Chain A
Amino acid sequence: MFSFPVFLESFWPLIWAARYTLLISVLGIGLGLVIGALICAARLSPYAALRRFAAVWVSFLRGVPLLVQLLVFYYTLPVIGLDVPATVAAVVTVGICASAYISEIWRGAIAALPKGQSEAALAIGMTPRDVWTRVVLPQAVTLSLPALINELILLVKASSLVSVVGILEITRASQAQAATTFRPLEVYIAAACIYLAINLCLAALGRYLEHRTAV
């Protein structure tokens, strides 16, 4: 039978483990935003070689499951003589994987702006640089916010995969607890509740940002 006290008790260790989930997804998206911006810039650059590199980057990372990317990255590091903690390897992998999706989100947002927006700026003699920083980017960033929050929610869920490299985030913590308490049902429902709570908060943040920046 379902035991409510066991269910409540399993929360605390899992909430403690949630810090890894949050750490990996938030740092992961942070890194993804930076690399994603560079990849997007490469994709839109006038240099064919850069454009090709960015296209390959995106299709490779979108074509290989994150789990496999994690394992490849994690087992490659020692081979090339790098000894980094599992958390660092996880954040970097998640960030690199997210960069592919984020660069596409930004490319889409930029493409969605009507051409007239930049033409109006060029027509009064603005420099291409000002057109980007004053007209295109502010609008593209606003347009992309809902999709970026969505990407963050996906990362929170995908971060359960980093349990394979031994990080004690929510999923791995609940597996460990289920094994010691022999009460898997209560423990996994508690884990589900925590994921849900995190993502409902993020969704609310997304709606707030969307509402605030709507003109």
Chain B
Amino acid sequence: MQASSVEIRKVNKFYGPFHALKDVDLNILPGKVTCLIGPSGSGKSTLLRCINFLEEYDSGEIRIDGQMMGYDAPGRKMSGRKLREMRRSIGMVFQQFNLWPHMTARENVAEGLIRVRGMGKAEAHERASAALTKVGLADKMENHPLRLSGGQQQRVAIARAIAMEPRLMLFDEPTSALDPELVGEVLNVMKTLAAEGMTMVVVTHEMGFAAHVADQVAFMEKGELVGVDTPDRILHQPADPRIQSFLRTYHERNSF
């Protein structure tokens, strides 16, 4: 598999007067898994959404395989066509799944292949079937999303992304909307993707996943990227008091 690299340099983002991302720097190597953690409102989703330009950053650079995302040059936005070209190789998975309810699971996956890749319907449906089989949903292809469990819906959403053969996958809290017993099936699919060498950026509150699957963990607070290091050094021996305090709260909430 071809995997992308992402370089984030001094990225700033404002919502009106609110400074949502402050000089964020982050390097993501091809085939590596980066987990983004941090308290609510710290800017994790904002940063993730800047990577595929669903959110526009105001200054700095985000480069995917060396190519600047969203801008031709600082301050000059790229054309819609070029932006779509770049987005084709970036998959995104949302907390709320965002499947299209008027299409079956298979149609959800095939839609992008037909509209974006220009594939014929038969070929697209064949590929969609393969992608759904890969996430363990061979028997659910004709179901509409609302007839699927949350875990199954999220796996369809992952299939929809990987069917496009992306070189980079973005996950925004993919398991946060799921009942606890359904989290595992989604994390397992993600682990398989990671093992295949996909570059992945994962916003998550699943510290177990971050500890075992991530190559690096980045901690954000108040729009700043406070620290980035190996999972062990961030999660088990953090130097920064802000990370220590975040993890303490996390452990307190998850112990009983």
Contact with B along A103-127 (1 / 0, CB 8 A): 0000000000010110111111111
Closest to A138 in B: B102
Q: Given the complex of chains A and B, what is the CA–CA distance between A82 and B112 in angstroms?
A: 51
B49 → chain A, closest Cβ, in Å? 9
Binds B, one of A1-9, A20-28, A128-136, A187-195: A128-136
Indicate whether A76 reaches chain B with its CB closer than 8 angstroms: no
Please state if A125 and B101 are interface contacts (CB–CB under 8 Å). no
The answer to the question of B85 belonging to the interface, with a C-beta cut-off of 8 Å to chain A, is yes
Would A124 and B85 be within 8 Å (CB), given that A116-B94, A215-B101, A215-B102 are in contact? no
Q: Which of A13-34 contact B (CB under 8 A)?
A: none
The answer to whether A117 touches B100 (Cβ under 8 A) is: yes
Residues of A within 8 A of B116 (CB): 124-126
Chain B: interface residue total (CB-CB under 8 A) = 29
Partner of A124, one of B101, B146, B164: B164
- Indicate whether A142 reaches chain B with its CB closer than 8 angstroms: yes
A139 sits at the interface (CB 8 A): yes
Interface contact A116-B115, CB-CB below 8 Å = no
**Chain A contact surface mostly:** helix
What's the Cα separation between A124 and B161 when bound, in Å? 7
Interface string of B174-203 (1 = CB under 8 A from A): 000000000000000000000000000000
Check if B85 sits within 8 Å of A125, measured CB to CB: yes
B151 CB, min distance to chain A CBs, angstroms = 18
What is the interface size of chain A, counting residues whose CB is below 8 A from a CB of the partner? 20
* Bound CA span A142–B144, Å: 15
Q: CB < 8 Å: which of B84, B85, B98, B157 contacts A114?
A: B98
Q: Is B99 interfacial (CB-CB < 8 Å)?
A: yes
Complex Cα distance A128/B84, Å? 10
Cβ B96 vs Cβ A123 within 8 A: no
Instruction: Determine which of B88, B98, B144, B146 lies in contact with A116 in the assembled complex, contact meaning CB atoms within 8 Å.
Output: B98
A124 B102 Cβ-Cβ under 8 A: no
Complex formed: what's the CA distance from A215 to B107 in Å?
A: 14
Contact A124 B112 (CB under 8 A): yes
B111 at the interface (CB under 8 A from A): yes
* Residues on B with beta carbons closer than 8 Å to the beta carbon of A117: 98, 100
Q: How far is the CB of B128 from chain A (nearest CB, A)?
A: 13
Q: Would you call A130 and B90 a contact (CB within 8 A)? A: no
Residues of A within 8 A of B (CB): 114, 116-117, 119-128, 130, 134-135, 138-139, 142, 215
Instruction: Supply 21 A–B pairs (Cβ within 8 Å), ascending by A.
Output: A116-B96, A120-B92, A122-B54, A122-B87, A123-B54, A123-B92, A124-B87, A124-B88, A124-B116, A125-B84, A125-B85, A126-B84, A126-B116, A127-B80, A127-B84, A127-B115, A128-B80, A139-B102, A215-B101, A215-B145, A215-B146
6 residue pairs, one from A and one from B, having the closest CB atoms: A116-B98, A120-B98, A125-B88, A123-B92, A124-B112, A125-B87
Which residues on B are within 8 Å of A, measured CB to CB? 52, 54, 80, 84-85, 87-88, 90-92, 94, 96, 98-102, 111-112, 115-116, 144-147, 157, 160-161, 164
